[in-house]
């Protein structure tokens, strides 16, 4: 079977629904249509990874209600609580052009056209208005970079890097540089 580290999380089981073994899933994707037509999914619970056949998926407010084959009671469904739904990278929902999965960006080095290497992306904050890259590990410490066209000039997954043109004030160069 596939290594859990090579999988991508797409949902989290947050509870049960009813008495017939249905679980409530919080999608971990902006594209809930990725669940349409799914027939099976891996569920990760710590070191355990099990494949479940999907009998049905129904949208219910902010949740998706999953009914798995062989999970027929509330108690069986409760045993899956906190499980993470995962798929292989090859089964990911295709994103529109210039959109990326967070896991694709984490660890990428970020280069400013004037300052050179700023560090690597350690996290992506989803603020609603625009994402923000949390960049760390360079001589400037932690930098929060807004993901807007004026700042992020290129994301090159093939080359494995992000190019930016920082706006004035994002780095206070008088106070922030650290000695290497």
Instruction: Determine whether 37 is exposed, middle or buried from the number of CB atoms within 10 Å of its CB (0-12, 13-18, 19+).
Output: exposed
pLDDT at 2 (0 to 100): 61
Q: pLDDT confidence of 16, banded at 50, 70, 90? A: very high
Per-residue pLDDT tens for 31-46?
888 899 899 999 999 8
Q: Is 6 helix (H, G, I), strand (E, B) or coil?
A: helix
Domains of the chain: 4-91 (2.40.30.60), 102-164 (2.30.30.240)
Per-residue pLDDT tens for 56-68?
999 999 999 999 9
Q: pLDDT confidence of 175, banded at 50, 70, 90? A: very low
Per-residue pLDDT tens for 101-160?
888 999 999 999 999 999 999 999 988 889 999 999 878 899 999 999 999 999 999 999
pLDDT at 97 (0 to 100): 85
Phi, psi (degrees; rounded to nearest 5) at 152: -85, 105
Q: pLDDT confidence of 176, banded at 50, 70, 90? A: very low
The pTM for the full model equals: 0.69
Residue 79 has pLDDT above 90, yes or no: yes
- Fill in the DSSP letter of residue 93: P
Q: Could you tell me if residue 30 is left (phi over 0), alpha (psi between -120 and 50 degrees) or otherwise beta? A: alpha
């Amino acid at each position: 079977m596939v290594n859990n580290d090579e999988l991508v999380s797409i949902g989290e089981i947050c509870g049960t629904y009813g008495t017939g073994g249905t679980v409530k899933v919080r999608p971990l994707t902006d594209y809930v249509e990725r669940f349409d037509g799914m027939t099976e999914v891996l569920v990760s619970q710590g070191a355990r990874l099990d494949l479940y056949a999907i009998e049905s998926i129904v949208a219910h407010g902010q949740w998706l209600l999953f009914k798995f084959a062989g999970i027929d009671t509330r108690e069986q469904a409760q045993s899956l609580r906190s499980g993470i739904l995962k798929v292989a990278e090859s089964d990911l929902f295709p994103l529109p052009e210039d959109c990326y999965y967070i896991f694709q960006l984490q660890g990428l080095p970020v280069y400013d056209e004037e300052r050179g290497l700023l560090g690597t992306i350690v996290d992506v904050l989803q603020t609603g208005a625009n994402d923000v890259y949390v960049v760390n590990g360079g001589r400037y410490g932690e930098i929060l970079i807004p993901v807007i066209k004026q700042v992020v000039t290129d994301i090159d997954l093939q080359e494995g890097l992000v190019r930016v043109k920082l706006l004035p004030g994002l780095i206070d160069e008088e106070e922030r540089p650290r000695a290497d």
